């Protein structure tokens, strides 16, 4: 089941924060870069986010989550995508991505970025019709790839 979460200081938010640390550690290892913002974020900082989270839940456990920033009228940015490493290759990220694609009531652009060495994420975005728009080297020499998809 996928449901929205408003981040507050409660057990579900704490569980999501723990998942974020575990999931982004996997990406950090792939990229050989350990200063990924979600890894550097304290729980106090996490609680201040204005992002909207959607959780993939089975048997009261959070197995995955996606967050979006939709502060723009025509653009929704996927700001975080995470799956419990024990649940990789089960289609959870795909279902979360498909869910957020159904949210807009009018045409808009969904944007997402990931590390160029994160082959599973790149494969997911491309398989769902996202187009590579840009490559950019950022802090620590890490190359990011940026994707977009028109929806609705």
Identify the pLDDT of residue 1. Answer: 95
Each residue's pLDDT tens digit, 113-145: 999 999 999 999 999 999 999 999 998 899 999
- Residue 31: which residues within 8 A CB-CB, separation 6 or more? 115, 117, 118, 142
pTM: 0.93
Identify the pLDDT of residue 72. Answer: 74
The total number of structural domains in the chain stands at 1
- Domain at 89, CATH number: 3.40.630.30
Range of the domain at 54: 2-151
DSSP β-bridge partners for residue 92: none
β-pair type (108-115, 75-83): parallel
Identify the pLDDT of residue 97. Answer: 97
Asked if pLDDT for residue 71 goes beyond 80, the answer is: no
Q: Angle at Cα 138 formed by Cα 137 and Cα 140, nearest 5°?
A: 105
């Amino acid at each position: 089941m996928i449901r929205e979460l408003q981040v507050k200081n409660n057990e579900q938010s704490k569980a999501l924060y723990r998942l974020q640390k575990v999931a982004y550690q996997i990406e950090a290892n792939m990229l050989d870069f350990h200063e990924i913002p979600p890894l550097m974020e304290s729980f106090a900082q996490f609680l201040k986010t204005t992002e909207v989270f959607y959780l993939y839940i089975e048997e009261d456990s959070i197995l995955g989550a996606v967050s979006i920033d939709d502060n723009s009228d025509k653009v929704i940015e996927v700001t975080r995508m995470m799956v419990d490493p024990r649940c990789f290759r089960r289609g959870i990220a795909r279902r979360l991505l498909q869910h957020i694609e159904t949210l807009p009531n009018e045409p808009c652009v969904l944007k997402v970025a990931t590390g160029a060495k994160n082959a599973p994420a790149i494969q997911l975005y491309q398989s769902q019709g996202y187009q590579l728009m840009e490559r950019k080297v950022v802090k620590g020499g890490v190359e990011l790839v940026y994707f977009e998809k028109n929806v609705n």
